[in-house]
Structure 1
Amino acid sequence: MDIFAFPPLAWLLDAAYGALAGLSGLLDPLVGASAAALAVVLVTLVVRALLIPVGISQAKAEQTRAHLAPRLRELQRRHKKNPERLQKEMLELYRSENTSPFAGMLPVLAQAPVVGILYTLFLRPEIAGHPNELLAHDLFGAPLGTSLVHMLAAGPFQLPTLLVSLGLIAIMLVVADITRRVFRPTPVDDSPLSSPGMLRVMSALHYLTAVFAVFVPLAAGLYLTVTVAWTLVQRVVLRRRYPVPVPA
């Protein structure tokens, strides 16, 4: 089933196509065939700028959770034999501080529709019945509508696609590693989230974006690369503004 066949979503996709194609047309005299790639970068920067207030809320939530860590450890010690009571007390504690253990997920959820639209725009040969001219654009010779997996599996082999895709993935991996090292979660004694296995899983999640970029069109991979780089810089800046206590 094609969800973009439904009229509201079809209109949304066509509007997104018109906006991105229009921006690409304005940039074409400057960068030629890479105009759509630059347009994707600019759209990414606009989306991230609009989400700055959400990032500030996320930084505040991280600071609050870090300050709550000693009290959470006390709750773990007091109710470790009563999981239901422990969960209730933890939720009450978060509620009293106007935060949540899931605070900070909004930036990821808010960007999911943007990634989905970009994925679709650079996948379809036609948009609302007219040819998709965005597919004629590239980045350093790599077509924006080709994914690394599709090129390797179905061909034809294109060296620019391989090099550009690996370059973007390398950037994402470096950013993920820096993020993992700098922003380690505050451990809570006896918490399942602080177990060695769970901490390894949480560390591995930092690299999930790079894995995802292997399967999406290059345009979506470019969006993800700019996003993770922006996110790291923003978190470093906000961590200075909203510092968290270093666990003993």
Structure 2
Amino acid sequence: MDDQNKNLILATALSFLVILVWFVLFPPPEPSVTETPPAATETIGQTDANGAPIASVPQAADPGATTATTEVAPAADAPRLNVETPRLTGTISLAGGRIDDLLLNDYRETLDTNSPNVRLLEPVGDPLSYYALFGWAPGGGLTPADVPGTDTVWTVESGETLTPENPVSLRWDSPSGLIFRRELSIDDDYMFTVAQTVENPTEAAVRAAPYGIIARHGLPETSRFFILHEGVVSMANGSLTEMDYGDFEDFAVDPAMGAQAETIEDVTEGWIGFTDKYWMTTLIPNNGEPFKQVMLFQPQSQIYQTQTIYPTVEIGPGQTVEHSSRLFAGAKEWEAIRDYQNEGGVYRFIDSIDWGWFFFLTKPIFQVLHFLNAMIGNMGWSIIALTVIIKALLFPLAYKSYSSMAKMKELQPEMEKLKEKAGDDRMQLQKDMMELYKKEKVNPASGCLPILLQIPIFFSLYKVIFVTIELRHAPWLGWIRDLSAPDPSSILNLFGLLPWGVPDLGALQIISLGILPILLGISMWMQQKLNPAPTDPTQQMIFAWMPWIFMFMLGSFASGLVLYWITNNTITFIQQYLIMRSHGYKPDIFGNITSSFRRKKPDAE
């Protein structure tokens, strides 16, 4: 076997190994199962009878701190305030002042124009309740009845509908004489600001601790992909934490919390919340303000929580104390999150997007893709343009590789002479060939370098296409209306020409090939034909089947990734052909194609 064919075999084997490992690590998702949480029938630690969370103040911080255990009013029975912004529509329950009903105006569940908008938050009482609440935990001199609880019905002091131009103000008067106010404001995108004040007109000093909580009732639907993180995402003093929902069950029981909890103390720069594939809710304290991050799980009621707990403050007679924080509730749009980081001062907020292990590649790849899309206005053509840029950056290596391959072809006669001279002495043959390579300045392994560099780029681009919301429902042309989804066309109905739909074949859906996967197989097959088929029958069989194996294996991948691979193969074919011709070797493509269809004659007896 000559070294040229060894390189081809090695490159092909590496590519096959990459795909094989990919399917082992990132198997197709299992059908999502929505678990409806059981009704909470008992008080669990710092929760009420319906399982609604109550903030806790660490006993070490304030020995007099306590928490309330009260019943949450059903969402339908409490008055509500409307929320109307360019990006969000919903309501806020005056029971507890919970932000618990939000729809995303710019995103629908499916491509159907009549599909409902994506619902981000859901009120208490729904199967998968999901909401944010803020308040004060009682400290020294206060009882649970002296602070507003999760079922406390606030009154509207000003404003009727929360809009970017019009904040709303809520008020609640404590039986002990304290006056609690909460002003809610929102910007044009997804950021709420919650300003809470406590006015003490009494003659006694009291203590209380502000808090923020995001709660999810029941296990939410997830994509169940290894490549994707869904669950808690937090930043604490420069350390990013990503925790899956299953990890909550491993928490130890915290006696102060009365539930399974994990705490990060003494945070001064950070945020914490829940992330889905495309959506996120995040509690964001002010920069430099000390707070404690809490992740809490109540197994009996299946409630997951993230909390921000702030130091206990003293409110003296005649004094008013204010505390403010922010809540992000919306889509994980790179541009919006970047602006909140750069202009809004949210520390390293861009890391809330799941960039993965190859973040040093995924971040710049996405930024270039986002820039190209802003110029071109179409993500499909932007992916093609990005591929051209990547190939241009790798061209020096490709040129060296294909030049080496052309020289290897030129050295074939010399190598045949060395084989005849060495006979059965393999050691002498290897020595003579190495001397020949050194003399002619040829590196037989250089042909594999572009393949090796393509592996992390391929993984990074897959991560970008799979995770970033900018690719969700992004069309290219014709039948490709969602580059984040597989090609919807199918050979089973001749790509829509036959008058029937495509059946759901379950695990056999892999045979329902679309147009893009077929083009991928053809592009790989054509790339092979730049070189004659190897003489060894085993090698011939591997090369003959490899493009079509890849075609089936990648058929269920996102259309954007398949489009990248087709473009990459096409550019590689052109580059290799032109570079090899420039070195005097003219690939007989047509002859290689016809020879692959020619039936071989049996050996003479």
TM-score by length of 1: 0.71
1:200 pairs with 2:548: no
1:143 to 454, 463, 482: 482
The answer on whether the counterparts of 1:3 and 1:9 sit within 8 Å (CA) in structure 2 is no
Alpha-carbon distance in 1 for matches of 2:360, 2:405? 38
Distance between the aligned counterparts of 2:586 and 2:421, measured in 1?
A: 23
Deviation per residue, 1:168-204 (Å, 9 max, x gap): 233233333433334226xxxxxxx642222332444
Equivalent-residue separation in structure 2 for 1:246 and 1:13 (angstroms): 36
5+ residue gaps, structure 1: 29-34, 186-192
* Residues 194 and 79 of structure 1: CA distance in aligned 2, closer, same or farther (over 3 Å): farther
Residue in structure 1 matching 2:366, options 9, 12, 17: 17
Could you say which residue in structure 2 is the equivalent of 1:180?
528
Contact 2:516 2:563 in 1 (8 A): yes
CA contact (8 A) 1:213 1:220 kept: no
Query: Which among 465, 468, 471 is matched to residue 134 of structure 1?
Result: 471
Which residue is equivalent to 1:60?
Answer: 403
Matched, 1:232 2:580: no
For 1:72, the equivalent position in structure 2 comes to 415
In 2: Cα distance, 1:121 partner to 1:171 partner: 22
Work out whether 1:210 is the aligned partner of 2:551.
yes
Q: Deviations over 1:101-128 (max 9, x none)?
A: 222222222222221111011222xx5x
Task: Indicate the residue corresponding to 2:515 in structure 1.
Answer: 167
Identify the residue that residue 380 of structure 2 maps to in structure 1: 37
SS in 1 for 2:446: coil
* Aligned partner of 2:424 among 73, 81, 91: 81
Residue aligning to 1:48: 391
Show structure 2 runs of 5+ residues with no match. Answer: 1-225, 230-241, 243-354, 491-503, 589-605
Q: Quick one: distance in 2 between partners of 1:147 and 1:246? A: 34
Q: 1:17 to 1:173 in 2, by over 3 A?
A: closer
- Which letter maps to 2:559? L
- AA in 1 matched with 2:383: V
1:221: which partner in 2? 562
SS at match of 1:214: coil
**Higher strand proportion:** 2
Deviations 1:49-99 (A, max 9, x none): 223333322332122111221222222223342323323332332222221
Kindly provide the amino acid, as one letter, of the partner of residue 135 in structure 1.
R
Question: Alignment length, in residue pairs?
Answer: 220
Out of 97-106 and 76-85, give the one that drifted further.
76-85
Provide the secondary structure at the position in 1 that maps to 2:472.
Answer: helix
- Decide whether aligned partners of structure 1 residues 195 and 10 sit closer, same or farther in structure 2, where only a CA change above 3 A counts: closer
- Which is helix-richer, 1 or 2? 1
Residue 447 of structure 2 aligns to a residue in which SS? coil
Q: CA–CA distance in 2 between the matches of 1:246 and 1:10?
A: 39
Among 76, 100, 118, the residue aligned to 2:443: 100
Determine which of 568, 571, 585 is the counterpart of 1:244.
Answer: 585
CA deviation string 1:17-42 (max 9, x = no partner): 333223323332xxxxxx11111111
Q: How far off its partner does 1:206 sit?
A: 5.0
With CA pairs under 8 Å and 6+ residues apart, which has the higher RCO, 1 or 2? 1
Paired AA for residue 179 in structure 1: Q
Q: CA deviation at 1:225?
A: 0.6
Q: Which amino acid aligns with 1:23?
A: L
**Counterpart secondary structure, 1:136:** coil
Q: Is the partner of 1:238 in helix, strand or coil? A: helix
1:90 is matched with 433
Q: Which residue of 1 aligns with 2:375?
A: 26
Return the alpha-carbon distance in structure 1 between the equivalents of residues 444 and 417 of structure 2: 17
% identical equivalent positions:
17
Q: What's the TM-score, normalizing by structure 2?
A: 0.32
Cα pair distance change 1:245/1:25, threshold 3 Å: closer
Q: Which amino acid aligns with 2:407?
A: T
CA distance in 2, matches of 1:214, 1:7: 23
CA–CA separation in structure 2 for the residues paired with 1:239 and 1:15:
32
CA-to-partner distance for each residue in 1:197-243, whole Å, 9 max, x for gaps? 22332444455653453243211111111111112222232233112
In structure 2, distance between residues paired with 1:7 and 1:233 = 32
The answer on whether the counterparts of 2:387 and 2:564 sit within 8 Å (CA) in structure 1 is yes
1:144, 1:219 within 8 Å by CA — same for their partners in 2? Answer: yes
**CA RMSD across the alignment:** 3.5
